Structure formats: structure tokens, C-alpha cells
């Protein structure tokens, strides 16, 4: 019964989204306000159907209704209620349903927020959104249907143990979906601008905001994924250039580039076609990422197991890619530049370099991820490019971007005299040198780390100076600009922390029997005991360690090995003592409770906590920039063909760079 | 109509489609090896630390496990203790590690920290890895007493996986 209701709701959503999309495009073509009104209703109806369908699935999960295919696949009476609730996104079919829910909410939200505005563009935007929605509801209805009726069983296996292993897994997937799925909204708006053959100044606002929101979620999601890997996987790192990690990074890179090029577009009226391309690229890369995670083509700790939806997603990816290419080719020339770039040594010049670097980074990561597949496709040989490729390519580009975070905002807009340039560029050098010196004294010897510290100190100075410009008025009038610099501050800290934590860590692996101690850095780690613990959904062997420093107790750490009934291999969970300067990380390699011996990997990694804090700061900065400033006047479409001169040259407090 | 955008865009689309389409047909965990059932390719490499040259011929007479790895490979960290423990437990089996795309300093540091119970050879130019058709690290080849490859495993091994593959080499 529940399964049948679910299937009905999904079929209805296929119909509603398809019909809504056709109505919307027709309304756009005929400039029909009634058609647009109907299209909006279809958008709301799609969202409502998705909310109810997800509700039905959660109901089935909580009731342990094992006649529903997905519940039989991931449900279990043994697991805690919170695990049952989040089981929705623990496996392929449920996660696609969750995708549909998020998409529905985004489409409804965007439709509602633009209800009285941008009437020229909105039919095409809603049409594009609902076309994407049609694809995803088809995916839920046919190849990945979670509502199949199966013979009821008394109990199920429970979700993937990795999901049950850490609380971060509850929040990481929703953030990732909010980031990934949210890219559909700016994609629809960009397509609408192309179909209309116009991208006015006023339309930049929804385009930028709709890109910024998923960007914030994606930023946090990438960090949570890294944090999860660090806390759960037990090898002491947070990033391994795994194909699925790369999949989440790719759209983030292009979206970041687009957020920057949109600023140049707003101030100089140039780079319109380029910005639209980046926005489309961000969406297409989320679909590529979805393919990578769900097709079973890539081997990864994060991916879903082999499934049959790969071909369907590949068809959708190819179709949207071709659609975007043809649309761009047909209309890119209609998005005329309204101004020109004056000088390469200026802020807009730096924006251009920034964009080129982000695109270079995107291609580097994309090629590194797809290249092994290409080699196999054409030569029949399997290979992997591995970490050395990514590190050797990404570190220099990342360092150059950090350099730009400092130099870009230090330069004024427009034409710059040599004296101006030298004066604004030299001042922050003192701060950079001091930071690099501090790092050297603290033991940094890797040249890239020292360079990162130099540029980091430089950028930090510039960022703080720019943030404080305009005093308290900034929060009222220059909120976007201020938010942007908060993001920059976070990015500086993240890049420096990554450089320091990856080059300055110490590790050792020791074998201890009960009562024995080992030293690492300032800590003495004593193995107290190994004990077995039983929980309803798993059995664990826990090693207890007392950590002291200079004879004073610091903490007790309990890394463990978890055994799940459905897994042949145990899953280790490390334990971490985090401080503001460094983390002590213990991960069990081998444990024997009978003889009370343990092999443990001990790591001291500096500045890891700063990465989590600073990425969070980036998210906060994004939110500050997202809140609309009260002083911004919504310009009508009639006036927005040319940029108002007050914005291009006027009051510095209105600056948005 | 902007022809450049069209041509470049369509080219990227087709290339990506072709690669991903071919990729769909494969199982990323299964790595076929034409070498299974054939004599192992010969090699003579210097051992890290001792500098002694070890060649394939010296492994004959005992079942052998040749494990390709590198210090930059994350799953190799996971696998290393399994190999070290098993090598200690199974004196009748010849374990050999072959490291490629790496430096001797890093390997020495790795082994100092994580322990070692069998010879580790440095494949400086990666020729041995190429001869064995190594697709990625870690990858392990199981040889019987006569030096014939009887099994291959790609990815980090657990004791269970190691021993089930080794059983084929013991027959």
C-alpha cells in the first residue's frame, strides 16, 4: 500500500514536471503571462509531490515496512532511530529521492522569490528547471525506484556501516545535495538569459545569489567530507584526490570562478558569455559528479556500489551538455559587452587571471580523474595517476591563487599608474615576510610551505585592510563586499593550514602491550586496556589510551575497531585530540584483546582544526554576502541595459569587489 | 552562430561521452591480467637498505608474493601491517615488496616507522612494474613454487584476501 502510494506520487511528479516544462517554454516563446502563471503552479506542484513522496518513504522507514523495496534494502529494526531517518540518503535509490526533494524545494523557492520579477526570463528558467526535474523524477520512477513492492521480511540488513560510523555522515550528504542540486537554479537562469539573448544588469542579482547559495553549501560539504574522512577512515589525512572527492571539487572550482567573473561583469559590463559558460559548466560538472558517484565506473571509498542508473545519467549528461553547447553557440554573440577592460595591471586584470587559474585547476583535476578511464578506453590498459600528479599540478596553481587573493584587492579598478601599483603592492609585503619568518622559526622548511606563508601573510594584510574600509557603515551598505572579504580571510587560512598540515606532520607506528607507553612530540601515550563493547548494531574492540604531556594528564583517547554484522572486514574509527595548534591522532592498525596488545599509528598534525574553522568562516562570509543590502535599488529591466555610472566609478563604500 | 563554441563544445561532449560510455562496461575493482597462468616476468632489483640484488630466480622453490606499492599511496598504509604480520607468520612463503615512482629516503622512513619483515626492492625506472602490467598501487602477484603467476589482486589486501590467494599458489 505504502509502496503503491509512493509509486503514484512519483509518476505524478514525472507528469507534472514534464507538463510544467512544456507550458513554461511555450509561455516564454509567446510572452504569455497566463502561461507563466501556470508554469509557476506546476513548479509548486512538483515540489509538493516530492515533499509528500519523501514523507511517505520516511514513514515506511520508521514503521519498518519491509514490503517497500528500499526499506527492505537498507532498513533494520536493530539500528537507532536517527540511523533509520538518515537511511534515506544511505543508498542509491533513497538518495535520488532525496535529490528530488531538494530539487523540488529549490525550484519552488526560486519560483516564489522571483514571482513578480524578471518576467521576460522566468518562463525559460522555470522551463529548464522543470526539464531537469522531469529527468530526476523519471530516474526515481524507473531505473532507481525506491518504492518497488517486495515480499515482506521480518528484518533488514541496515544501512551501509560507514554511514552509521560517524555523526558527520548525517550532515555531510544533505549539504552536498544542497550544493549539487542548487546549481540547477543558476543553470536555469543562465539558459534563460541565453534563450532571451540578453543578460541585463538587474538579472545579475538572482543569477549571482542563486549561484552563491549552493556554493556556500558545497563549500561546507567538501569540508565535511574531508573532516569525515579524517575522523573515520583512519589514515590521518583529509583529502586523497579520490574520484568522488574530485567530483565535489570540480563544480566548486567553476562556481567560484563564476562568482568572480560576475563581479567584473557587474562593474565593467564584460565577460557575460564567459560567466554564463562557467555557470552552465558548474551545473554540468555536478551531473558528471553524480555519474562518477553512481555509475560504478570509478573505484572510491565514497561511491555507491554498482548500479544500473549509470547509462541513464550518461544520456542526461550528454543531452544537457549538447543543449548547453548549442545554446551557447547560437546566442553567445548576442550577450554584447558594454564596456572594456582598461589595463591588465588592475583589479579586473587580476580577476581575469583568477578565472584562468580556476579553469586551469578545473581541467587539471578533471583530466587527472578521467584520464585513467581514457587510457583504458583506447589502450585497454588500466592505470591511475595518483597523488603525485595532483600534488605537482595543484600546489603551484593553489599558491598562485593565494597570491591573487593578496594582490587582486590591493590593486584599484581601472587604469593604474606605476606609482599607485608599487605603493599598494609593497605595503603588505612586510606582513607576508613576518608570517614566513614565524613559519621558518617554527620549523617550516618545505619551499612551497614557506611561499604559502609569505603569500598568506600578504593576503591576510590586504584582506583585513579591505574589510575595515568604510568602518561600521560597511555592514549596512557594503555587505556583499565585506562578505566577500570574510570568504577571502577563510580561504587564506584554509590554504595556509593545508600547506602546514600536509608538510609538517610527524607520525610513528608502535606496538604496545597493556601499561606500555610511547612518546610522540610533547605527548606520552600510555595503553591502558583493550575492551570489547556491544551495541545493538555493532560490536567494537576499543583501545583506551591515556595521554599526558610533561606528566600532566591531557585526555583519554579511545580509537576502536567496529564490527558490523553485514561487513566482513572491521571498520576502524580513529580518535583525535584536537587543539588550536595541533591534533594528536590515534588509529588502530591491529588489536588483540586476549593478549592486550595493540598496534597503533600515532600522528601529530599541526593546524588541522583551522581548516574546519576557516571553511566554516568561508560559509559565513558567503551568507553575509548573500543577504541583500537595503540600499540596493532593484533596477527595472528598462533601465538595466547600461550600467549606471555611479556603480562603475562612484562612492567606494558601494564597491562590491 | 558562434562556430568556435559549437565545434569545441561538441568535441568535448563527444570525447567525454566516449570515455564514460566505455567506462560503463567495466568493474573498477576487477583488473584482468594476461599474465595469470604464465611464468612471471624476470627482474633483478636492488633491495632498499642492504643494497643486495634480488632476482626472480632466487624466489624459486617457494611460493612467492610480489607486492607493488609506494609511499605516496594511501591504501598501501592500510595494507602494510597485513603484509608484515603475514610474512612473519609464514616463513615458508617468500614476500617481496617492489616500490616504484618513489625515492629511497622516503621508503626508508616509511619502513623505519612501520616496520618491515621482508625485502623491499626499488624499481627505479618502473620497468618491473611495466613488465608486470601494474595498473595502480597496491597490487599483488601470487607466484607458485615454479615462478608461475597464479593470482593477482588489485587494492589493499586483508589477511583473508591474502591467504585465499596464497592458497592457490600453495597447490
CA distance A454 to A471: 27
Which residues constitute the domain of residue B34?
Answer: 29-170
pLDDT confidence of residue A300: 57
Task: Report d(CA A36, CA A42) in Å as an integer.
Answer: 10
Question: Residue A381: closest CA among chain B residues belongs to which residue?
Answer: B135
- What DSSP element (H or E) covers A32? none
H/E segment holding residue A571: strand A571-573
Answer yes or no: is pLDDT of A637 > 60: no
| pLDDT at A378 (0 to 100) | 66
Among partner residues B21, B70, B72, which is closest to A314 by beta-carbon distance? B21
**Cα-Cα-Cα-Cα dihedral of A52, A55, A59, A60, to 10°?**
70
Q: What is the mean pLDDT of residues A82-97?
A: 89
What values do phi and psi take at A42, rounded to 5? Answer: -60, -40
Beta-carbon pairs below 8 A across chains A and B:
117
Widest Cα–Cα separation across chain B: 72
Yes or no: say if A208 and A199 are a contact pair by the CB < 8 Å rule: no
A470 pLDDT tier (thresholds 50, 70, 90): low
Dihedral class, residue A222 (left if φ above 0, else alpha if ψ from -120 to 50, else beta): alpha
Give the angle A316-A133-A149 at the CA atoms, nearest 5°.
Answer: 90
CA A306-A307-A310 angle, 5° bins: 110
Q: pLDDT over 70 for what percent of chain A?
A: 89
Could you identify the residue written with the cell 548500479?
A307
Cis preceding linkage at B151, omega within 30: no
Residue among A240, A287, A297, A603 with most chain B CBs within 10 A, to mutate: A297
What is the spatial distance between Cα A14 and Cα A17, in angstroms, rounded to a whole number?
Answer: 5
Residue B156 is given by DSSP the state P
Report the distance separating Cα A211 and Cα A185, nearest Å.
Answer: 8
Cβ-nearest to A387 among B1, B72, B113: B72
Does the pLDDT of residue A653 top 60, yes or no?
Answer: no
Instruction: Work out the pLDDT band at A632, boundaries 50, 70, 90.
Output: very low
**Model pLDDT, residue B19:** 82
Provide mean pLDDT across the span B105-116.
Answer: 86
Long-range contacts of A439-448 (CB under 8 A, 24+ apart): A439/A500, A443/A504, A444/A500, A444/A503, A444/A504, A446/A499, A446/A503, A446/A504, A448/A395, A448/A399, A448/A499, A448/A503
- Quick one: pLDDT at residue B136? 73
Q: What is the pLDDT of residue A91?
A: 84
CA-CA-CA-CA torsion for A357, A358, A363, A368, nearest 10 degrees? 100
- Overall average pLDDT of the B50-66 stretch: 89
CA distance B3 to chain A (A): 7
- DSSP conformation letters of A479-493: HHHHHHHHHHHHHHH
pLDDT over threshold 50, residue B168 = yes
Q: Which one of B6, B21, B77 has the shortest CB-CB distance to A326?
A: B6
Which residues in chain A have Cβ-Cβ distances shorter than 8 Å to B6? 325-326, 329
Name the percent of chain B in helix, strand, coil, to the closest 5.
40, 20, 35
Query: pLDDT tens-digit profile of A577-599?
Result: 999 999 999 998 888 888 898 98
Give the pLDDT confidence score for residue A652 in this predicted structure. 37
- Cβ–Cβ under 8 Å, residues A561 and A571: yes
Domain count of chain B?
Answer: 1
Say if the ipTM goes beyond 0.85. Answer: no
The answer, yes or no, to whether residue A455 has pLDDT greater than 60, is: yes
Residue A647 has a pLDDT of 39
A178 vs A481, which has greater pLDDT? A178
C-alpha dist (Å) from residue A558 to A182, A299, A389, A528, A574: 39, 30, 36, 10, 8
- What pLDDT is recorded for position A635? 39
Per DSSP, the three-state class of B102 is coil
Q: What integer pLDDT is reported at residue A112 of this predicted model?
A: 96
Mutate which: B68, B74, B158, vs A, most A CBs within 10 A = B74
User: Between residues A563 and B8, which one has the greater pLDDT?
Assistant: B8
Note the pLDDT of residue B106.
Answer: 84
- Cβ B1–A568 below 8 Å, yes or no? no
DSSP 8-state class, residue A640: T
> Residue A655 pLDDT more than 60?
no
Q: What is the mean pLDDT of residues A371-396?
A: 73
**Mean model confidence pLDDT for chain A:** 86
SS3 percent helix, strand, coil of chain A, rounded to 5, is 65, 10, 25
* Residue A298: pLDDT over 70: no
Q: Report, as an integer, the average pLDDT of B13-18.
A: 88
**What pLDDT, on the 0 to 100 scale, is given for residue B59?**
86
With beta carbons under 8 A apart, name residues in chain A contacting B163: none
Q: Is residue B11 part of a domain?
A: no
Backbone angles phi, psi at A63, to 5 degrees: -80, 0
Q: Which residue has the higher pLDDT, A342 or A612?
A: A612
Residues with Cβ within 8 Å of A518's Cβ and at least 6 positions away in sequence, in order, are A508, A510, A512, A524, A525, A602
Locate cell 555611479: which residue? A646
User: Where residue B83 sits, what CATH number does that domain have?
Assistant: 3.40.30.10
| Rounded Cα–Cα distance for residues A334 and A332 (Å) | 5
B3 in a structural domain? no
Which of A297, A384, A601 is closest, CB to CB, to B135?
A384
Q: Is B163 on the interface with A (CB under 8 A)?
A: no
Residue among A108, A117, A135 at smallest CA distance from A283: A135
Distances (CA, A) of A184 to A179, A217, B164: 10, 14, 48
Neighboring chain B residues of A509 at a CB cutoff of 8 Å: 81, 113-115
User: Chain centroid to CA A254: how far?
Assistant: 11
For residue A320, how many other CB atoms are within 10 A of its CB?
Answer: 21
pLDDT at position B152? 87
Residue B5 lies in a domain: no
| A383 CB-contact burial (10 Å; exposed 0-12 / middle 13-18 / buried 19+) | middle
Cell matching residue A612: 574546519
CA B59 vs CA A355, A559, B84, B88, B90: distances in Å: 55, 39, 18, 17, 15
The pLDDT value given to residue A17: 97
Tell me how far apart the alpha carbons of residues A361 and A369 are, in angstroms, rounded to a whole number: 12
Q: Whole-number mean pLDDT of chain B?
A: 85
Single out the residue of A101, A52, A62, A67 nearest to residue A85, CA to CA: A62
pLDDT in tens, A264-293: 888 888 889 999 999 999 999 999 998 888
Assigned domain for B159 exists: yes
Grid look-up 613559519 returns A439
Give first-to-last CA distance, chain B, whole Å: 69
Look up residue A532 and give its three cell numbers.
Answer: 570489547
C-alpha to C-alpha distance for A18 and A185, rounded to whole angstroms: 17
> How distant is the Cα of A649 from the closest Cα of chain B, in angstroms?
33
Confidence of residue B26 (pLDDT cuts 50, 70, 90): low
Model pLDDT for residues A5-54, shown as the tens digit of each residue: 999 999 999 999 999 999 999 999 999 999 999 999 999 999 999 999 99
- Which band of pLDDT confidence, cut at 50, 70 and 90, is reported for residue A186? very high
Strands (E), B101-160: 120-123, 139-143, 149-154
- Find the helix or strand (DSSP H, E) in which A473 lies: none
Q: Is the CB of A590 less than 8 angstroms away from the CB of B81?
A: yes
* B14: in domain: no
Cα A350 to Cα A133, A309, B61: the distances in Å are 38, 42, 66
Measure the CA–CA gap between B141 and B31, rounded to whole angstroms: 12
Please report residues of B whose CB lies closer than 8 A to that of A237: 74
Which of A37-51, A242-256, A469-483, B145-159 is least confident? Answer: A469-483
**CB crowding A103-119: b at 16 or more within 10 Å, else e:** bbbbbbbbbeebeebbe
Q: Cell triple for residue A347?
A: 583589479
Backbone angles phi, psi at A506, to 5 degrees: -120, 145
pTM of the model: 0.80
Residue range A616-635: mean pLDDT, rounded: 76
**B25 inside 8 A of chain A by CB:** no
- Cell 580577476, residue located: A351
- pLDDT band of residue A458 (cuts 50, 70, 90) is very high
B17 belongs to a structural domain: no
d(CA A134, CA A132): 5
DSSP secondary structure of A429-452: HHHHHHHHHHHHHTT---HHHHHH
pLDDT at A568: 52
Q: What are phi and psi of A543, to 5 degrees?
A: -105, 130
pLDDT at residue A643 in the model: 39
- At residue A385, the pLDDT reads 64
Give the model confidence (pLDDT) of A100-152 as tens digits.
999 999 999 999 999 989 999 999 999 999 999 999 999 999 888 999 988 87
CA distance A20 to chain B (A): 28
Task: Please determine, for residue A329, whether its predicted confidence score (pLDDT) is greater than 60.
Answer: yes
Query: Which residues, other chains included, contact B62 with Cβ-Cβ below 8 Å and sequence gap of 6+?
Result: B92, B93, B94, B145
Amino acid at each position: 500500500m505504502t509502496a503503491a502510494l509512493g509509486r503514484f506520487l512519483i509518476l505524478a511528479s514525472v507528469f507534472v514536471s514534464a507538463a510544467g516544462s512544456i507550458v513554461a517554454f511555450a509561455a516564454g516563446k509567446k510572452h504569455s503571462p497566463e502561461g507563466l502563471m501556470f508554469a509557476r503552479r506546476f513548479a509548486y506542484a512538483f515540489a509538493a509531490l516530492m515533499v509528500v513522496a519523501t514523507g511517505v518513504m520516511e514513514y515506511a522507514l520508521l514503521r519498518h515496512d519491509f514490503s517497500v523495496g528500499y526499506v527492505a534494502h537498507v532498513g533494520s529494526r536493530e539500528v537507532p532511530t536517527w540511523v533509520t531517518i538518515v537511511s534515506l540518503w544511505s543508498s542509491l535509490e533513497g538518495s535520488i529521492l532525496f535529490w528530488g526533494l531538494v530539487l523540488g524545494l529549490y525550484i519552488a523557492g526560486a519560483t516564489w522569490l522571483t514571482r513578480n520579477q524578471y518576467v521576460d526570463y522566468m518562463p525559460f528558467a522555470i522551463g529548464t528547471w522543470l526539464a531537469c526535474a522531469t529527468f530526476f523524477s523519471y530516474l526515481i520512477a524507473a531505473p532507481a525506484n525506491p518504492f518497488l513492492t517486495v515480499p515482506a521480511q521480518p528484518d533488514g540488513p541496515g544501512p551501509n556501516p560507514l554511514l552509521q560510523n560517524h555523526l558527520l555522515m548525517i550532515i555531510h550528504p544533505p549539504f552536498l545535495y544542497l550544493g549539487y542540486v542548487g546549481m540547477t537554479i543558476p543553470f536555469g537562469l543562465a539558459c534563460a538569459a541565453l534563450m532571451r539573448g540578453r543578460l541585463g544588469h538587474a538579472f545579475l542579482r538572482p543569477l549571482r545569489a542563486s549561484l552563491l547559495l549552493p556554493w556556500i553549501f558545497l563549500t561546507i560539504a567538501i569540508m565535511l567530507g574531508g573532516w569525515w574522512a579524517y575522523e573515520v577512515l583512519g589514515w590521518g589525512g583529509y583529502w586523497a584526490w579520490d574520484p568522488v572527492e574530485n567530483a565535489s571539487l570540480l563544480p566548486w572550482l567553476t562556481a567560484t570562478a563564476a562568482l568572480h567573473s560576475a563581479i567584473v561583469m557587474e562593474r565593467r559590463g564584460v565577460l557575460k558569455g564567459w560567466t554564463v559558460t562557467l555557470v552552465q559548466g558548474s551545473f554540468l560538472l555536478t551531473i558528471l559528479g553524480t555519474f562518477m558517484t553512481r555509475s560504478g565506473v570509478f573505484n572510491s571509498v565514497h561511491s555507491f556500489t554498482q548500479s544500473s542508473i549509470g547509462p541513464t545519467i550518461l544520456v542526461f549528461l550528454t543531452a544537457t551538455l549538447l543543449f548547453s553547447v548549442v545554446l551557447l553557440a547560437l546566442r553567445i554573440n548576442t550577450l554584447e559587452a558594454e564596456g572594456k577592460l582598461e589595463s591588465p595591471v588592475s583589479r579586473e586584470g587580476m580577476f581575469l587571471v583568477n578565472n584562468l587559474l580556476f579553469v586551469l585547476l578545473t581541467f587539471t583535476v578533471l583530466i587527472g580523474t578521467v584520464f585513467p578511464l581514457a587510457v583504458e578506453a583506447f589502450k585497454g590498459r588500466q592505470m591511475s595517476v595518483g597523488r603525485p600528479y595532483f600534488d605537482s599540478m595543484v600546489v603551484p596553481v593553489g599558491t598562485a591563487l593565494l597570491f591573487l587573493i593578496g594582490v587582486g584587492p590591493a590593486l584599484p579598478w581601472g587604469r593604474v599608474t606605476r606609482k599607485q601599483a608599487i605603493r599598494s603592492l609593497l605595503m603588505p609585503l612586510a606582513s607576508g615576510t613576518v608570517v614566513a619568518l614565524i613559519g621558518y622559526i617554527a620549523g617550516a622548511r618545505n619551499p612551497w610551505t614557506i611561499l604559502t606563508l609569505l603569500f598568506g601573510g600578504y593576503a591576510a594584510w590586504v584582506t583585513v585592510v579591505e574589510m575595515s574600509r568604510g568602518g561600521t557603515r560597511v555592514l549596512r551598505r557594503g555587505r556583499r563586499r565585506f562578505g566577500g572579504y570574510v570568504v577571502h580571510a577563510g580561504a587564506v587560512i584554509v590554504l595556509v593550514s593545508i600547506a602546514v598540515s600536509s608538510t609538517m606532520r610527524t607520525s610513528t607506528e608502535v606496538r604496545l602491550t597493556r601499561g606500555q607507553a610511547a612518546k610522540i612530540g610533547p605527548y606520552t601515550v600510555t595503553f591502558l586496556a583493550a575492551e570489547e563493547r556491544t551495541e545493538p548494531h555493532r560490536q567494537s574492540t576499543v583501545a583506551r589510551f591515556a595521554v599526558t604531556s610533561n606528566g600532566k594528564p591531557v585526555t583519554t583517547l579511545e580509537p576502536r575497531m567496529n564490527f558490523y554484522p553485514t561487513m566482513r572486514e572491521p571498520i576502524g574509527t580513529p580518535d583525535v585530540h584536537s587543539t588550536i595548534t595541533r591534533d594528536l591522532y590515534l588509529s588502530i592498525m591491529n588489536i588483540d584483546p586476549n593478549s592486550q596488545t595493540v598496534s597503533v599509528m600515532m600522528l601529530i598534525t599541526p593546524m588541522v582544526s583551522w581548516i574546519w574553522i576557516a571553511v566554516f568562516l568561508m560559509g559565513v562570509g558567503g551568507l553575509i554576502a548573500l543577504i541583500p543590502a537595503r540600499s540596493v535599488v532593484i533596477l527595472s529591466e528598462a533601465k538595466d541595459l547600461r550600467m549606471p555610472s555611479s556603480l562603475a566609478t562612484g562612492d567606494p563604500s558601494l564597491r562590491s569587489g | 552562430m558562434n562556430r568556435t563554441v559549437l565545434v569545441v563544445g561538441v568535441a568535448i561532449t563527444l570525447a567525454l561521452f566516449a570515455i564514460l560510455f566505455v567506462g560503463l562496461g567495466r568493474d573498477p575493482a576487477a583488473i584482468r591480467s594476461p599474465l595469470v597462468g604464465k611464468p612471471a616476468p624476470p627482474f633483478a632489483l636492488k633491495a632498499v637498505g642492504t643494497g643486495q640484488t634480488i632476482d626472480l630466480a632466487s624466489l624459486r622453490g617457494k611460493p612467492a608474493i610480489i607486492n607493488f606499492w609506494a609511499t605516496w599511496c594511501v591504501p598501501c598504509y592500510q595494507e602494510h601491517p597485513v603484509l608484515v604480520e603475514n610474512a612473519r607468520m609464514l616463513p615458508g612463503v617468500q614476500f617481496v615488496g617492489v616500490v616504484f615512482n618513489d625515492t629511497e629516503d622516503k621508503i626508508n622512513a616509511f619502513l623505519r616507522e612501520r616496520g618491515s619483515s621482508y625485502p623491499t626492492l626499488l624499481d627505479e625506472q618502473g620497468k618491473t612494474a611495466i613488465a608486470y602490467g601494474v595498473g595502480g598501487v597496491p597490487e599483488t602477484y601470487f607466484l607458485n613454487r615454479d615462478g608461475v603467476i597464479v593470482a593477482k589482486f588489485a587494492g589493499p589486501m586483508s589477511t583473508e584476501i591474502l591467504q585465499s590467494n596464497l592458497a592457490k599458489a600453495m597447490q
